[in-house]
């Protein structure tokens, strides 16, 4: 049965609400109650064992009640059940399925080679003592030239954020996008001033740095993803909103999650060894660590 036909049939059995009752309230509370009934039925199965739990027929009935209340509630809210189902599948695809290689863009394919992110390169993170007693991290490119300024954690508490450029390199490797990496490797697209300003300029860099700091704050509450493989969808939605006007916005939440996890795996190694080398491979979408 098509969802649209089901919704129309369900509405024929919807009873009118009392005069002083919000018509949405009854199906809303009914949906909550029936969802609880499904949970209660399965709880009995967990408590008493499969033989004592609800039958498939019972579960089908409980889930059918959930579907009926969902269909009627959607109607009262001016929504179409088929549209809801289609949007739900699209959201799930965005969250759990990375963009296929055939659809993944190369944002700089039409630019001169010196303005393209290198398909494969190595960046070295070297701890360097300073006269004032601090130790900064110096980044160098494959040819030995500096990549950006020396970094500290810029915090009252040493949390090794000084290695955070690993996150930007992971964005470049997995997403093919990173204004910060373009700056570090001197690969800004200066031949097109509009792109250089909007996509590679200060605002885009600030947004990527903001994402890095936001995710780091989140990661600090979860042991920096040491034993975690997924991030909350709400965090990915926030990142999507932050980058909505940038070229990377065409990628999916699943791509961002992969980039985040790739960056933190590399950051963990840099932190453990006090530095090292990271090789990013844009074709393989990997960021590989090597000891100092």
Query: What tens digit of pLDDT does each residue of 203-215 get?
Result: 999 999 999 999 9
Indicate the pLDDT class of residue 234, thresholds 50, 70 and 90. Answer: very high
d(CA 147, CA 137): 11
For residue 50, what pLDDT is reported?
76
- The domains located in the chain, with CATH, are 3-96 (1.10.287.1080), 113-290 (no CATH)
Look at residue 21 and tell me whether its pLDDT is greater than 90.
Answer: no
The rounded mean pLDDT for the chain is: 94
Is residue 278 within 8 Å of 289, Cβ to Cβ?
Answer: yes
Q: Does the pTM exceed 0.75?
A: yes
For residue 138, what pLDDT is reported?
96
For residue 14, what pLDDT is reported?
92
Indicate the pLDDT class of residue 164, thresholds 50, 70 and 90. Answer: very high
**To which residue do tokens 């006269």 refer?**
131
d(CA 250, CA 228): 26
User: Which strand ranges, in their side-by-side order, compose the sheet holding 135-140?
Assistant: 135-140, 120-129, 276-281, 286-290
Is residue 225 within 8 Å of 185, Cβ to Cβ?
Answer: no
Task: Return the higher-pLDDT residue of 33 and 19.
Answer: 33
Look at residue 292 and tell me whether its pLDDT is greater than 90.
Answer: no
């Amino acid at each position: 049965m098509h969802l649209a036909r089901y919704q129309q049939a369900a509405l024929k059995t919807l009873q009118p609400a009392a005069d002083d009752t919000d018509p949405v309230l009854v199906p809303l509370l009914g949906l909550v109650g029936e969802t609880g009934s499904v949970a209660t039925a399965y709880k009995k199965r967990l408590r008493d064992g499969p033989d004592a739990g609800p039958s498939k027929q019972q579960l089908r009935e409980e889930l059918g009640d959930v579907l009926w209340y969902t269909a009627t509630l959607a109607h009262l809210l001016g929504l179409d059940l088929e549209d809801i189902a289609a949007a739900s599948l699209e959201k799930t695809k965005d969250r759990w399925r990375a963009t296929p290689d055939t659809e993944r863009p190369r944002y700089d394919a039409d630019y001169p080679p010196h303005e393209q992110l290198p398909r494969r390169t190595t960046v070295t993170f070297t701890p360097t003592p300073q006269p004032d007693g601090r130790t900064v991290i110096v980044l160098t490119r494959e040819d030995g030239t500096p990549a950006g300024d020396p970094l500290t954690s810029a915090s009252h508490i040493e949390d090794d954020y000084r290695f955070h450029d690993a996150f930007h390199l992971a964005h470049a490797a997995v997403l093919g996008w990173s204004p910060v990496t373009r700056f570090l490797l001197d690969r800004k697209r200066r031949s097109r001033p509009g792109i250089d300003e909007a996509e590679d300029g200060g605002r885009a860099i600030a947004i990527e740095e903001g994402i890095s700091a936001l995710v780091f704050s989140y990661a600090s509450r979860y042991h920096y993803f040491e034993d975690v493989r997924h991030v909350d969808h709400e965090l990915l939605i926030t990142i999507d909103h932050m980058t909505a006007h940038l070229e990377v916005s065409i990628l999916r939440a699943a791509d961002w999650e992969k980039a985040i996890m790739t960056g933190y795996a590399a950051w963990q190694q840099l932190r453990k060894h006090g530095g090292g080398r990271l090789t990013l491979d844009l074709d393989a979408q990997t960021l590989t660590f090597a000891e100092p």
